[in-house]
Amino acid sequence: MTKEVKTLFVSTTEPAVLVFSTVTDGKSKFSDEPSYDVIVEFAPDSADLKNIRTQAAGLASENWPGIDLKPLQKFWKAGKAKDGTPTGKIICTARSDYQPTLSVLENGKLRELTSPVDLKQYRKWFFGGAEVLVGITLRPYEVKGDKGISAKLGMVLSVKPSASGGGRDAAEVFKGYVGTVSTEDPGGFSADLDDEIPF
């Protein structure tokens, strides 16, 4: 009998900088197949980052009681500039095989993007440099003996477009920038990022 894998849905509560995104077209640098990815940058003392790491640690301990958290593969790591210089930030990667729910906060009103016309019109809201909130599903995995926690992307709310060129209700999830936690998994799954930043 296969052991049930417990997952956890978490949404952020404050805007963070979007470093990289393929959420409008699924053209990923990580895969030849469609993959909807984001890399989001957090300050080291970010309350959202602390919550994500705390929830991930708790989920790992719940799925693997007594496990040493240090060697687990994770979806966050220290940010670096193109020349390898540390940025002092922490970046998190979340991915999905299916397009996440996308929405924008424009003129104080939340608008879900539900058509190709919407995605084209608001594409710059999901370019690098935009400010976003995200909803992710934390999920334990084990591949060839290597254990880790991945982040499956479920939702992205952009509150500020870049200066350069679903199933859930986004208005409810991000209402008042209040983070939520749930055991629901809003869709497919794929991820495998590790690094030196501990839980």
Task: Tell me the CATH number at 119.
Answer: 2.40.50.140
What CA–CA distance (Å, rounded) separates 100 from 37?
9
Q: Which domain holds residue 71?
A: 8-182
Mean pLDDT of 95-107: 95
Average pLDDT of the chain to the nearest whole number = 85
Structural domain contains residue 187: no
Beta carbons within 10 angstroms of residue 154's beta carbon: 25
What CA–CA distance (Å, rounded) separates 90 from 26?
24
Structural domain contains residue 3: no
Structural tokens at position 140: 């334990």
Kindly report the backbone phi and psi dihedral angles of residue 106, in degrees, each rounded to the nearest multiple of 5, phi listed first: -120, 125
Structural domain contains residue 102: yes
Structural domain contains residue 178: yes
Q: Is pLDDT above 70 for 198?
A: no
Q: Is pLDDT above 60 for 99?
A: yes
Structural domain contains residue 190: no
Q: Is pLDDT above 90 for 182?
A: no
Structural domain contains residue 197: no
Residue 66: strand, helix, or coil: coil
Structural domain contains residue 193: no
Identity of residue 155: M
pTM: 0.81
Structural domain contains residue 2: no
What CA–CA distance (Å, rounded) separates 6 from 97?
19
* pLDDT given at position 27: 87
**DSSP conformation letters of 19-61:** EEE-TTT---SS-SS--EEEEEEE-TT-HHHHHHHHHHHHHHH
Share above pLDDT 90 across residues of the chain, in percent, rounded to a whole number: 67
- Tally of structural domains, the chain: 1
What is the longest distance spanned by two Cα atoms in the chain? 52
- Assign 179 a pLDDT band (cuts: 50, 70, 90): very low
- E strands within the chain? 8-11, 16-21, 36-42, 76-80, 86-96, 101-106, 109-112, 131-143, 146-160, 181-182
